[in-house]
Amino acid sequence: MTPGPEPSASEMAAFHAHNVERMLAHLRHGVVAAVVVTLVMAPGAWLVYPGHRWEAAIPCVAGAVWMALGSLLARTAFARRHALALTASIAWGVGLVSSVAAWNTGGYASPFFYIVFIGWIFVTAYLPVSPRQLHVICLPIPVLFGLSLALHGVAGWPPPLVAVVLLGCHAYAAFGVAGRHRDAIAAFVAQQRLAEARQELERLNGELEGRVESQVGQIRAHAAKVDRLNKELRAEVRERSRELARTLGRLDVVPIRPGTVLGGRVEVEGTLADGGMGSVYRGKDRATGEKVAVKVMREGAGNPELVRRFLSEAEAAASIDHPAIVETRHVDVDEEGRPFIVMELVEGVPLRSLIDEARLDAVDVPAIGARVADALVHAHAAGVVHRDVKPGNILLQRHAPHVRLVDFGIAKRFGAGDLLATHPEQMIGTPAYMAPEQIEGGEITPAADVYALGVVLYEIACGRRPFSGRGPALRLQKVMADPRPIDPEAGLEPELAALIMRCLRPEPADRPEARELAAALAAHEVGQPLEPSRWAARPTMAPPSRTRMRSADRR
């Protein structure tokens, strides 16, 4: 047999333990056969040597009894600890009684016992023993026999020749045991390693099956998400169709003309913008003389739910005290029963325009992001989630605080109660900036605003959004795929890029809180203040709030 790898200490220990069990098994069965043979020899000696019956037979019986005791001991725990000593004692006992028999019979019985000894050697050679163990078990026997034969030899049997024959048999057996022992070790180690490899293979197969089952489960879960998103998409198409019908139905609505006084207090001076539920006008507060922005509800004044939805913006903004959030002055109803909101007039450049015209880069990320994140900290502390953080709702000004967050038209209060209830199948917000849980109609928490701000910061740095799809494809990407990594050529510090990617994690619990995000961005802002001189020269008024997507933000 070709020698294999060198066995380790643990493998050798296991081999020796295995050999002990095999040796004891041989003793339990082989000794019984030896007892039977010895008991057959006793009557034979009784008949062959009439003058020495007792001297020949008694040692045979004694040897049989000794071997029987050994067979019984081989079944005990003691034998496992002293297997070699037990086997050697049996061999030495047989040799001793055989020598006594040869001594007492004047050597006449010796030939029988020499034959027995030679048979014993060859039987022992097939026991699972090492060469050293074979010497311990068998070598004393030819010594005893040689001694008895030398003292009481048989005529014609030269003692030296007999001793040489006996020792030669022993040497032959030892040589065979040595080779077989090496092969036994190699075979045992190979078998052990094969068993270990089989166990490892079974373990790997089990893990593979588990992973396959897990992946199948994920595929089924994704398939269920796709089905649900398809249902939501169909519901959204129906809703948008209804919106289109409502929009077409109000095309003949007469706008408020300049000079109109609302609520006996605010004089309309001109139109700023039109939104889904209302129009925004530039006005003047006659009570204070201030220039203000007035948002007037265009339709549905008799619908309590639509009125509640319209007024939720004023309630949300009024509950937050922060310089970056547009201040709400008061809420009233005009002579025709239309609710209107009087707000601070904000002049600034929409972040959307600056991104589209590529007038921002990575150095602006910390300054803009820190101010928006700080505004979100105060909004979340007041229990309000903006739900529509995007470049179109962020204005940049030449004077402090430089950054303003506007449009709380779809804000939502979390905790005690909602500012704006949303139907489970109704998706409110701008999909490109919505968190996965927001797209799926799940629970909306402050983490959704952090996700949206992460998309905005990504877009400032890279000039593109982390997901490139549109419509249903965009929704599937956000739910099932990872965002594209930030290009190193964008110039962001690695820590800042990693922070933005944390904001884009699909699980809300894995995103940083707004407070942590604001602090981290402020730390990166050191040495990179805002530079209003780099922005566009033309000022733009605050955009109107809305409760649905505009085509400009669906890109």
List the beta bridge partners of residue 348. 540
Whole-model pTM? 0.53
Residue pointed to by tokens 């030896």:
34
367 token code pair: 């300054």
CATH number given to 271-344 = 3.30.200.20
Check: CB of residue 351 under 8 Å from CB of residue 546.
Answer: no
Per-residue DSSP letter, 325: B
The rounded distance, in Å, linking the Cα atoms of 389 and 553 is: 11
Which residues have CB under 8 Å from 451's CB, separation 6+? 433, 434, 435, 436, 438, 503, 504, 508, 511
Please give the structure tokens belonging to residue 443.
């629970």
The answer to whether residues 23 and 87 touch, using CB atoms and an 8 Å cutoff, is: yes
**d(C-alpha 110, C-alpha 166), whole Å:** 13
> What is d(CA 381, CA 384) in angstroms, rounded to the nearest whole number?
7
Give the DSSP per-residue string, 459-498: HHHHSS-S----HHHHHHHHHHSPPPPPPGGG---HHHHH
How many CB atoms within 10 Å of residue 422?
A: 18
CB count within 10 Å of CB 87 equals 25
For residue 229, the one-letter residue type is L
Measured between alpha carbons, how far is residue 208 from residues 187, 212, 220, 227, 354 in Å?
Answer: 31, 6, 18, 28, 51
Give the pair of three-digit tokens for residue 261: 């006084």
CA angle 317–319–321, rounded 5-degree value: 85
Cα 284 vs. chain centroid, distance in angstroms? 60
Cα–Cα distance for residue pair 386/407, rounded to 1 Å: 8
C-beta separation of 338 from 296 below 8 A: yes
Inter-residue contact 268 to 260 (CB < 8 Å): yes
Contact in structure between 105 and 55 (CB atoms under 8 Å): yes
**10 Å Cβ neighbour count for 12?**
14
CA gap 354, 532 in Å, rounded? 12
Rounded Cα–Cα distance for residues 285 and 288 (Å): 6
Backbone angles phi, psi at 292, to 5 degrees: -135, 170
Position 248 scores a pLDDT of 45
DSSP 8: P
Residue at token pair 């029988």: 112
Catalytic residues: 388
In terms of Cβ atoms closer than 10 Å to its own Cβ (0-12, 13-18, 19+), residue 156 is exposed
Q: How far is CA 286 from CA 88, 120, 262, 269, 295, in A?
A: 121, 127, 10, 12, 17
Strand-strand pairing, 403-405 and 328-333: unpaired
Q: What are phi and psi of 33, to 5 degrees?
A: -65, -40
Select from 494, 367, 474 the least CA-distant residue to 427.
474
For residue 156, give the nearest of 213, 107, 100 by alpha carbon. Answer: 107
| 347-553 under CATH 3.30.310.50, yes or no | no
Question: How many Å apart are CA 263 and CA 434, to the nearest integer?
Answer: 37
Domain boundaries, the chain: 9-199, 271-344, 347-553
Distances (CA, A) of 479 to 223, 423, 434, 441: 11, 20, 11, 12
Residue at 317: amino acid letter: A
Output the tens digit of pLDDT for each of the chain's 555 residues.
Answer: 445 556 677 766 676 666 666 666 666 665 566 666 666 666 655 665 566 556 666 666 666 666 666 666 666 666 666 666 766 776 666 666 666 665 555 554 455 555 656 666 656 656 666 666 666 666 666 666 666 656 555 554 555 565 566 666 666 666 666 666 666 667 767 777 788 888 888 888 888 988 888 888 888 888 888 888 777 776 776 676 566 555 444 544 567 889 999 988 899 999 887 766 678 899 999 988 899 999 888 665 556 666 776 777 667 777 788 888 888 888 888 877 788 888 888 888 889 988 988 888 888 899 999 999 999 999 999 888 988 899 988 999 887 778 999 877 665 666 544 444 444 445 567 888 989 888 888 888 999 999 999 999 999 999 888 887 666 656 666 666 678 899 888 888 899 999 999 999 999 999 999 999 999 999 887 655 556 555 544 444 444 443 333 333 444
**Cα 139 from Cα 141, distance rounded (Å):** 5
Cβ neighbours of residue 222 closer than 8 Å, sequence gap 6 or more: 479, 480
Contact 438, 448 (CB under 8 A): yes
CB-CB contact of 125 with 137 (8 Å):
no
- Tokens 């929409």 correspond to 350
Rounded to 5 degrees, what angle do the CA atoms 408, 413, 415 make? 160
The whole-angstrom separation of Cα 322 and Cα 370 is 13
Three-class secondary structure of residue 243 per DSSP: helix
DSSP state of 294: E
Task: Please report the pLDDT score of residue 515 as a whole number.
Answer: 96
Task: Give the residue among 91, 66, 76 at the shortest CA–CA distance from 24.
Answer: 76
pLDDT of 277:
67
Helix (H) or strand (E) holding 267: strand 266-274
